[in-house]
A and B are shown apart, each in its own frame.
Chain A
Amino acid sequence: TLRVVSAFPENQFYVKRTIEWIEKVNKEGKGVLQLNFIGGPKAIPTFEVGKAVQSGVVDIGFTTGAFYTNVMPEADILKLSETSAAEQRKNGGYDLINKIWAEKANMRYLAKVVEFTPFHLYLNKKIDKPDLTGLKIRITPVYRDFFQAMGASVMTTAPGEVYTALERGVIDGYGWPIHALFDLNWQEKTKYRVDPGFYNAEVGLVMNLTKYKALPQKARDFLDQHALAYEQQNDFWKSYNQNEAKRQAEAGIQVITFDAATNKAYVEKANEVGWAAAIKSSPQYGEALKKVLAK
């Protein structure tokens, strides 16, 4: 039996989907492989899930790259993917990722199960050009370099404090994926979303490599095959995210957008800043990853 922990709380939509997947694996894997879902951050703190997988305290972690940059800086680079997971399986990207993950983190990257999900800048003050000078923006490391490059003064707060901070004008905006706003009720205190989105949210299943290698061939194939099947459902996010955008509009969130040239420059700037930071943080693999992730 392999032990699975999640870096996201149990009640989050991502996790519910993964628990369903685990149940399916367990049903079909009787006698071959069983997964035991241990729980969320209450069992292993969010930013320790990566370390716990690396050291083998748990076997499989359900997490996103930004949560385990303390294991290796490369983890956060996956957000810059422009190619899809399916394309990366073909263009050598998936193999490269697994080479790096094995070497630096003792991990096997099983599958990417959230993608086609851009990040957006959400604001409470209107802007007419991509310039955030004088605005206070709540960030996670994902957005830090890009928003700073646009002149924002950035701050980090606990997710639980964001609602209050918005309500009280402590912050003027924040970066977040297109979906998962409603879980936190932030739509109530958000006026604008800046389109286009940038980057591509990545949430994946990573496994301790030693444990992976120790699995019998049959169990390993079974796991790979089910992980791949889970990844192949990622088109789900395309329609899901369209729906989320619709819901945001219904909740009164207006879209700020610029002219086509500015929009293009905005996304290019995000990528440029993102890759510059990525190559700086990983001189060893930054360029190589760019070849397979960027378009």
Chain B
Amino acid sequence: MLGGSTVLLFLGLPVAFSFLVINLLGALLFLGGEPGLVQLARNCIGSVASFSLTPIPLFILMGEVLFHTGLAVKVIDGVERLIRQVPGRLAVVAVVAGTVFSAISGSTIATTAMLGSLMLPVMLARGYHPTMATGPLMAIGAVDMLIPPSALTVLLGSLSGISISKLLIGGVVPGLILSVAFVVYIIARVKMNPKLAPPSNFTEYHGWAKLKPFVQYVIPLVSIFVVVVASMSAGWATPTESAAIGALFTIGLAACYRALTLRNLMQSLQGTAAISGMILFIILGATTFSQILSFSGASNGLVDLIAGAGLPPMAVIAAMMLLLVFLGLFVEQVSMMLITLPIYMPLVAKYGVDPVWFGVMFLICMQLGLLLPPHGLLLMTMKGVAPPEVRMGHIFQAVLPYIVMSLLLLALVFFIPAVAVWLPKVLV
């Protein structure tokens, strides 16, 4: 079954339909013909009508509102005025602004497209090398997935049964580590080779003028992040509820800034409907797929096979992560989860490892998948918004150092679990 769906996937059948086609065959074979097909249809409803999936559209909505109402420009402006002359200043601004976005937006595409369309033209005009201009934008877009809100984290929690709140909060520290590492890398790299990012003049503001846009826009927007995380950890609301509050808050703030129009609200909602629809339809196909896989006994068989091989658990965990990174070369995040989790989670339970630790590493692997050539989603997004002089070759080359940093982070979390599990332990 796994093989069949992979063949269809590579023939170019959309992911959701690849699962559905195989489901029909599986239902015929294992669920006993026609009654099985009827049962399959019934199972479709429960697969998406699940309360733990409700944060997904809500988190995506937050990012879309931010994007379509133009509040994003204000954030960049607010961050830019605060940052002094450093090597690769604009790239540093992009990383810091991107980190702020990450905390408001639950959609990596929105963040990357936003930064790409706003910052990239400026950087290229100031003589930045295309690799120095695009790399940080894509890298920080990927970090968005680690820092809550994050639609994919919710999905991971819901599919794996790991606590969604803990996963969301567990991504914060690794995400921030990456942001800091990016800034350090950019400064060091530009110091070594100043031609990559020629210093340019910029208006230096002083006093209130320097702080005003930061206080006016960045602080209120970051307060959304605080609302979402705090309402979750302090105990007023479940992840779903805090996502809804966050989304309403974002819309409300946009209205306060008079940035909200009926038109851009509609655009935001349509963008949300499109992305959520894509994800949910894949979930519908894939959940029923994993049910049939389970029913056929294939999942249990594989789990027993691996668990019975007597390998050291840490080696198996490491192998699972490597397999994920490898999968990330070919398939997108939702399928990565759906393909591996039915096998991975029973093993995690068997070995008795901390699921939050495992989940955060899983997130880092998915985040890597966003950046891996030739298929990483953010590479495509970047190519989509970049001017034609930025070639695919530039983009592949640009992203490499950030891939290395993400791999190092993965190793760090693997050897020092506290990086991932400390914050959720303290907060939740």
Residue numbers of A with Cβ under 8 A of B are 38-39, 42-45, 47-48, 51-52, 55-57, 157-158, 160-161, 164-165, 167-170
User: Which residues of chain B are within 8 angstroms of A48 by Cβ–Cβ distance?
Assistant: 39, 42-43, 46
Are B291 and A167 in contact, with the CB atoms below 8 A? no
Q: In the complex, which of the residues B42, B52, B236, B290 contacts A42, with contact meaning CB atoms closer than 8 Å?
A: B290
- B238 in contact (CB, < 8 A): yes
Q: With contacts A48-B43, A51-B39, A169-B235 known, is A57 near B291, CB below 8 A? A: no
Name which residue of chain B comes closest to A36, CB basis.
B297
Instruction: For A163, give the chain B residue with the smallest CB separation.
Output: B163
Interface pair A45/B238, CB less than 8 Å apart: no
Do B342 and A42 touch (CB < 8 A)? yes
B52 touches A55 (CB 8 A): no
Q: Is the CB of B46 within 8 A of A43?
A: no
User: With the chains together, A113 CA to B196 CA distance in Å?
Assistant: 74
* Complex partner residue of A56 from B35, B51, B238, CB under 8 angstroms: B35
In the bound assembly, the distance between CA atoms of A52 and B42 in angstroms comes to 10
Q: What chain A residues lie within 8 Å of B340 (beta carbons)?
A: none
A55 & B38 in contact (Cβ 8 Å cutoff)? yes
Contacts of B35 in A (CB 8 A): 55-57
The verdict on B264 contacting chain A, using a C-beta distance below 8 Å, is no
Interface contacts (Cβ under 8 Å), in number, total 55
Q: Which residues of A contact B42 (CB under 8 A)?
A: 48, 51
Give the contact-size bracket for chain B.
Answer: 20 to 34
Contact of B161 among A38, A160, A167 (CB under 8 A): A160
Within the complex, the shortest CB–CB distance from B352 to chain A, in Å, comes to 13
* Complex Cα gap A160–B42 (Å): 23
Q: How far is the CA of A68 from the CA of B290 in the complex (A)?
A: 22
Q: Which residue from B32, B165, B238, B291 sits with its C-beta under 8 Å from A43?
A: B291
Asked whether B417 is an interface residue with its Cβ less than 8 Å from the other chain, the reply is no
Answer whether residue B257 sits at the interface, using C-beta atoms and an 8 A cutoff: no
Q: Are A168 and B236 in contact (CB under 8 A)?
A: yes
Chain A residues positioned under 8 Å from B216 (CB to CB): none
Which of A47, A52, A169, A170 has the most chain B CB within a 10 Å cutoff?
A52
Shortest CB distance B153–A (Å): 16
B32, B43, B51, B294: the one contacting A158 at CB < 8 Å is B51
**CB pairs A–B below 8 angstroms (22 shown):** A38-B295, A39-B294, A39-B295, A39-B300, A42-B299, A43-B294, A44-B39, A45-B43, A45-B291, A47-B46, A48-B39, A55-B35, A55-B38, A56-B35, A57-B35, A57-B39, A157-B51, A161-B51, A165-B238, A168-B237, A169-B235, A170-B238
> C-beta contact mask, B284-296 vs A, less than 8 Å → 1, else 0?
0000001100110
Closest to B349 in A: A11
Contact partners of A169 in chain B: CB under 8 A: 235
With known contacts A48-B39, A51-B42, A158-B52, A57–B294 Cβ distance under 8 A: no
- A56 and B236 form a contact (CB under 8 A): no
Q: Contact string, B89-107, partner A, CB cutoff 8 A, digits 1/0? A: 0000000000000000000
Residues of chain B with a CB closer than 8 A to A158's CB? 51-52
- Cβ of A57 and Cβ of B32 under 8 Å apart? yes
**With A and B bound together, what is the CA distance between A48 and B342 in angstroms?**
19
User: Given the interface contacts A44-B295, A158-B52, does A52 sit within 8 Å of B235 by beta carbon?
Assistant: no
Establish whether residues B297 and A44, one from each chain, have CB atoms under 8 Å apart when the complex forms: no
Shortest Cβ distance from residue A52 to the other chain B in the assembled complex, whole angstroms: 6
Contacts of A51 in B (CB 8 A): 39, 42
Question: B31 near A57 (CB under 8 angstroms)?
Answer: yes
Question: Are B235 and A168 within 8 A (Cβ)?
Answer: yes
The answer to whether A42 and B39 have CB atoms under 8 Å apart is: no
B313 interface hit (Cβ, 8 Å) = no
Kindly state the separation between the CA atoms of A236 and B291 in the bound complex, as whole angstroms.
Answer: 34
Min CB distance A71 to B, Å, is: 12
Q: Return A51 CB to nearest CB of chain B, in Å.
A: 6
For A44, the chain B residues whose CB sits under 8 A away are: 39, 43, 291, 295
> Cβ of B294: which chain A residues have Cβ within 8 Å of it?
38-39, 42-43
By a CB distance below 8 angstroms, the chain B residues around A45 are: 43, 46, 291
